[in-house]
Amino acid sequence: MSDAAALPAGRAAPRFRRPSALPGFRLTFGITLTYLTLIVLLPLAVLLLRAASVGPAGLWALVTDARNLAALKTSFGLSLAAAAIDAVFGLLIAWVLTRYRFPGRRIIDALVDLPFALPTAVAGIALASLYAPNGWLGEPLMAMGIKVAYTPLGILVALVFVGLPFCVRTVQPLVAEIDKSSEEAAAILGASRFRAVVTVILPPLIPAMLTGFALAFARAVGEYGSVIFVAGNLPYVSEIAPLLIVIKLEEFNYAGATAIAAVMLLMSFAALLAINLVQDFSRRRFGHV
């Protein structure tokens, strides 16, 4: 007898136990919890326990260290900036690839996914060569007084590079579903192009943009390979938190490495929770496409 049939007449089955094509609820729910526990929750729990072993005072001293704080500010500040840039330009790229037909469109569409497949070290070397003081782009930028490689700006460029596909691919399907008649109706009613974009096009895309923003931010916070080659890795200037963790491990300072990792975990969780709350609000406010 199914779970729904066992309920009294007139009483609806709970939403998470409704019949589906998958096996029984208890089996699939148990597999889900077991898999998540082994793959996600257990490693994170070990990390937090290892960080807590140094004690509250020791953990606070490690967290408030000037070098650690500078690395955390660099990682999280530039990750937020890179995710914001990707959200804006990801929408523009998704719009062009979806709404327009031009020669080479399929090639450009495939190039968007290149940061997914490209090894991060290869991306870092390419960006460092391109934006170095004697590079193809670095040399003319240096002539204008703009130094990219081996500065925080170089980190930002690398983080924008690795996060862009997330923002494009999350928005692109929704752009394809927007009915052009709504844009035409806005134009007939006398709305300017800017007002049509703000009132007709953007509202249904905001939840997807926030999803891409969250994914790009999460990727940028933990990025290592593509950053270290172009960052310069100067303490208090262009040193990222993942690199500082590696340095601590090479010095056999496992307590310091786990403390920084635990702080990154908590800060990332708080940031993603805040983004998800805003995303949930936007979905209730603007609805789904």
What is the pLDDT at residue 19?
Answer: 63
Q: What is the pTM of this model?
A: 0.82
Q: Per-residue pLDDT for 108 more than 70?
A: yes
- For the chain, list the domains and their CATH numbers: 43-287 (1.10.3720.10)
Give 149's contacts (C-beta < 8 A, 6+ positions apart): 127, 128, 131, 132, 133, 135, 138, 230, 232
State which amino acid sits at residue 144. M
What is the pLDDT at residue 23?
Answer: 63
Which of the pair, 28 or 122, is modelled with greater confidence? 122
What is the pLDDT at residue 61?
Answer: 81
Which of 81, 227, 98, 264 is closest to 174 using CA atoms? 98
Mean pLDDT of 113-125: 89
What is the pLDDT at residue 18?
Answer: 63
Express as a percent the part of the chain with pLDDT over 70: 90
pLDDT tens profile 4-60: 444 455 555 555 556 666 666 778 788 888 999 989 888 888 888 887 777 777 778
- 59-68, 115-124, 214-223, 234-243 — which is least confidently predicted? 59-68
Q: Per-residue pLDDT for 3 more than 50?
A: no
Which of the pair, 181 or 124, is modelled with greater confidence? 124
- 11-15, 91-95, 114-118, 212-216 — which is least confidently predicted? 11-15
What is the pLDDT at residue 31?
Answer: 87
Which of the pair, 6 or 143, is modelled with greater confidence? 143
State which amino acid sits at residue 65. D
Q: What is the mean pLDDT of the chain?
A: 84
Mean pLDDT of 190-219: 84
- Report which DSSP code applies to 14: P
Mean pLDDT of 77-102: 94
Q: Per-residue pLDDT for 1 more than 50?
A: no
Mean pLDDT of 155-184: 88
> Distance between the two ends of the chain, CA-based, in angstroms?
38
| Rounded CA separation 147/160 (Å) | 17
Q: Per-residue pLDDT for 289 more than 50?
A: no
- 21-35, 149-163, 179-193, 240-254 — which is least confidently predicted? 179-193
What is the pLDDT at residue 131?
Answer: 94
What is the pLDDT at residue 8?
Answer: 52
CA dihedral of residues 153, 157, 163, 164 (deg, nearest 10): 130
Using alpha carbons, list the distances in angstroms from residue 242 to 10, 63, 74, 94, 288. Answer: 56, 14, 11, 31, 37
Check if the beta carbon of residue 212 is closer than 8 Å to that of residue 199: no
